[in-house]
Structure 1
Amino acid sequence: MKTDIILSGVGGQGILSIATIIGEAATRMGLALKQAEVHGMSQRGGDVQSNLRLSDRPIASDLIALGTADMIISLEPMEALRYLPYLSESGWIITSSAPFKNIPNYPDEQALAEELKAQPHIVSLDVEQLARENQMQKSANVILLGAAASFLKILDAATLRESVGRIFASKGEEVVSMNCRAFDIGHEYVKNLKL
């Protein structure tokens, strides 16, 4: 069994934190893991992308080939579409619907939303709004991870949630509690969709 994930977003959104949590969970479960990261101008809101490959067998390459990704997890809708050529026909897109307008010629939001909606396997949620509503603005990325958890068949949600706690442990119990709650919010959101 294997799962290939493309993580994408904009610098500062927490994409690499998601990769760290997934990687920690995979290691705990004894899975093989390969990761390749591309850091754009992350301090200036540039593209940040990571290839994350998980398997119960050895993995030869850390890069995901076109048309083979099982999932795109994206904190920015335009960035989700940027990596669409990598997604397999049965692959899922789990994305934030809230645009991060970091360029002057950002695409029309309505057209972007329609293109995402046209995809056969997609969950689009406004993680920024959910984070604001729950007074956890710095945990929008973990809400998105919680939403993706149901689709990561190689990892179980309980192990991912435990990894959230371990990754944030050095920041104190309040931060751990907030991020575990953020994970639960995203996870429950998807359960309520009845996909």
Structure 2
Amino acid sequence: MKTDIVLAGVGGQGILSIASILGEAALRDNLYLKQAETHGMSQRGGAVVSHVRISDDAVASDLIPVGTADIILSVEPMEALRYLPFLKEDGYIVTNTTPFKNIPNYPNEEEILAELKKQPRCIAIDADAIASEIGNRRASNMVMLGAATPFIQITPEKIEAGIQRVFSKKGEDVVNLNLEAFRAGRNFALANK
């Protein structure tokens, strides 16, 4: 078993929280894990990418080679397009459809989504709208994580335990909100894959 995931978005969208939760879940499942990240966190809205490699065998490198990622999980559609070269031929794109317009000449949203949907395995989800319906738009990253779980070889229960661990310091209400967002994203992906 091996799953290579490119997490992409911009600063403030919760990419590092997703990476932490996946790491927690992998360790709970006694799997090997390597992670590397680059981020513009000193500037909200700066590009953030994290490579997460999970396997039942030792992982030699923390970086995912171009053309080998099993999943591109993007909380922002332009960032999914940016990392498309990393996706392997039978890989999955799981992307939020809501753009984060952090540059003045942000490309046409419809053209970005059309390009992404040319891929045979693309889940495009309005995670911001789903998270808002649940009660907090900031939980859109957990909607996205949930939408990716059908393609990650870790049980949803282990990922939920990771969510509980990562958000436990923020209180039970925050944990429950994030679990609800996670489940909503998972249900969307299962219904649309």
**2:161 counterpart of 1:162:** yes
Aligned length: 193
Checking the alignment, whether the CA contact within 8 Å between 2:15 and 2:49 is kept in structure 1 is: yes
CA distances 1:43-101 after superposition (whole Å, capped 9, x unpaired): 23110000110110111110110100000000000000101111100110001011110
State the distance in 2 between where 1:113 and 1:42 align: 28
- The alignment's C-alpha RMSD in Å is 1.0
**Long gaps (5+) in structure 2:** none
Cα distance, 1:152–1:174 mapped onto 2, change above 3 Å: same
Checking the alignment, whether the CA contact within 8 Å between 2:134 and 2:177 is kept in structure 1 is: no
> Offset of 1:42 from its aligned partner?
4.9
CA distances 1:136-174 after superposition (whole Å, capped 9, x unpaired): 212110011011111102x11111112111111111111
CA distances 1:96-143 after superposition (whole Å, capped 9, x unpaired): 011110001110111111111111111000101111122121211001
> Offset of 1:30 from its aligned partner?
0.7
Paired position in structure 2 for 1:177 = 176
Checking the alignment, whether the CA contact within 8 Å between 1:136 and 1:182 is kept in structure 2 is: no
Moved over 4 A (4+): none
Paired position in structure 2 for 1:83 = 83
Identity %: 53
Paired position in structure 1 for 2:2 = 2
Paired position in structure 2 for 1:55 = 55
State the distance in 2 between where 1:72 and 1:191 align: 17
> Offset of 1:28 from its aligned partner?
0.6
SS at match of 1:90: strand
- Using structure 1 for the length normalisation, give the TM-score: 0.96
State the distance in 1 between where 2:43 and 2:175 align: 25
Checking the alignment, whether the CA contact within 8 Å between 2:163 and 2:175 is kept in structure 1 is: yes
State the distance in 1 between where 2:120 and 2:191 align: 19
SS at match of 1:44: coil
Paired position in structure 1 for 2:152 = 152
Paired position in structure 2 for 1:186 = 185
SS at match of 2:128: helix
- Using structure 2 for the length normalisation, give the TM-score: 0.97
Paired position in structure 1 for 2:15 = 15
SS at match of 2:151: coil
SS at match of 2:43: helix
State the distance in 2 between where 1:35 and 1:125 align: 25
SS at match of 1:99: coil
